[in-house]
Amino acid sequence: MSFPVLDVQGLAYAYPDGHQALFGVNLHVHQGERVALLGPNGAGKTTLVLHLNGILTAGKGAVAVSGLPVTKDNLLEIRRRVGIVFQDPDDQLFMPTVRDDVAFGPANLGLRGAELDARVASALEAVGMADFADRPPHHLSFGQRRRVAVATVLAMEPEILVLDEPSSNLDPASRRELADILRSLDVTVLMVTHDLPYALELCERAVILSDGVIVADGPTRDILLDEETMRAHRLELPFGFNPATLPER
Q: Angle between the 142-154 and 172-184 helix axes, to the nearest 10 degrees?
A: 20
Q: Compute how many residues bind another protein; rule: CB under 8 A.
A: 33
Q: Does 63 bind another protein (CB under 8 A)?
A: no
The footprint of another protein on residues 116-155 (CB under 8 A) is 116, 136-139, 152-153
Nearest distance in Å: CB 59, another protein: 19
Considering only residues 4, 44, 105, 166, which one is a binding residue for another protein as defined by CB under 8 A?
105
76: number of CA atoms within 13 Å, CB side?
Answer: 7
DSSP string, 17-37: TS-EEEEEEEEEE-TT-EEEE
Rounded least distance, CB 243 to another protein, Å = 33
- Based on the shown chain and the rule CB under 8 A, indicate whether residue 33 belongs to the binding site for another protein: no
- Residue with Cβ nearer another protein (92 or 193): 92
Is residue 200 involved in binding another protein (CB under 8 A)? no
Partner residues linked to 213 by β-bridges = 210
Q: CA–CA distance from 76 to each of 5, 54, 110, 157 (Å)? A: 17, 10, 11, 13
Q: What is the largest distance, in Å, between two alpha-carbon atoms of the chain? A: 55
Give the binding site for another protein (CB under 8 A).
50, 53, 55, 76, 79-80, 82-84, 86, 88, 90-92, 94-97, 100, 103-105, 107-109, 116, 136-139, 152-153, 156
